[in-house]
Amino acid sequence: MEVVGVDACGKLGWVGIRLVDGRYAGGVVDVRLETLIARTPQARVVAVDMPLGLMGEKWRDADHGAKDLLGARRSSVFMVAPEAAWQEATHADASEVCRQLTGSGLSAQAWALRDKLLEARACWTADPARVFEVHPEVSFFALAGRTPLLFPKKTWRGQMLRRNLLADAGIGLPDALGEADRVPVDDVLDAAAAAWSAHRIATGASKSVPAVPQLDAGGRAVEIRY
């Protein structure tokens, strides 16, 4: 059984880590998420580190719940604005729409996700049975026995801790990753954690934040799976 975990990686686009029966099976990099998914046609689940479900007039419970779980790593979770804000062309306009709907503006860090968020949402709405939202820090929280990690992912200790947690779960990342050799280390680790969650989704072992998801205007679950 094949799955793929995907993380955004700046100008390179997206990096995917493939697992077959829970073990590392290769890396793939593509500028477009749609193309990356098309290149992994056998993947039963595609788990993407990007907000997918959006609410109409409120913040997402998924983000509040993930922050509560992560403790010291809570800053890795951005509050995701209601859907209307993402249709604006500028951060200032989007933040104003968000403030009108929720009482608070939209952070610049969250707004920086806009293009990739909209790209990932298009893939999700096209294939909702196969594409799922995950968050790597929530996945690593679960891998560590439901304990927030002490060290940030861009530090040496943080990266070694994450690589070891993946190895302990049977996902040994080799020194040579082929296409993914050019991807920053933290993005590879995040994609691998997303792949771990993808395997759990495919086998029916995953959990969600929140346990009872909100529903968007189309009746789809707004949740982070892990």
Quote the distance between the C-alpha of residue 18 and its chain's center. 15
From CA 44, how far away is CA 38, in angstroms rounded? 12
Average pLDDT over residues 5-32: 98
What predicted TM-score, i.e. pTM, was given to this entire model?
0.96
**Which pLDDT tens digit goes with each residue over 148-175?**
999 999 999 999 999 999 999 999 999 9
Confidence of residue 72 (pLDDT cuts 50, 70, 90): confident
Helices (H) and strands (E) in the chain — how many of each? 8, 7
CA atoms in the 13 A half-sphere facing the CB of 65: 18
> Which distant-in-sequence residues (6+ apart) come within 8 Å of 88 by Cβ?
94, 97
Task: Give the model's pLDDT for residue 7.
Answer: 98
**Which pLDDT tens digit goes with each residue over 187-215?**
999 999 999 999 999 999 999 999 999 99
Task: Give the model's pLDDT for residue 226.
Answer: 98
Average pLDDT over residues 115-133: 97
From CA 139, how far away is CA 70, in angstroms rounded? 10
Residues 193, 143: contact at Cβ < 8 Å?
yes
Task: Give the model's pLDDT for residue 143.
Answer: 98
* Whole-number average pLDDT of the chain: 97
Dihedral over Cα of 12, 111, 134, 150: its sign: positive
Q: Coil, strand, or helix at residue 184?
A: coil
- Which alpha helices (H) appear in 10-155, and where do they start and end? 33-38, 61-70, 91-102, 108-111, 114-126, 136-143
Average pLDDT over residues 49-58: 97
- Give percent above pLDDT 90 in the chain: 99
Q: Inform me whether the pLDDT recorded for 219 exceeds 90.
A: yes
Task: Give the model's pLDDT for residue 149.
Answer: 94
CATH class of domain segment(s) 2-52+127-203? alpha beta
E strands, 41-101, in order: 43-48
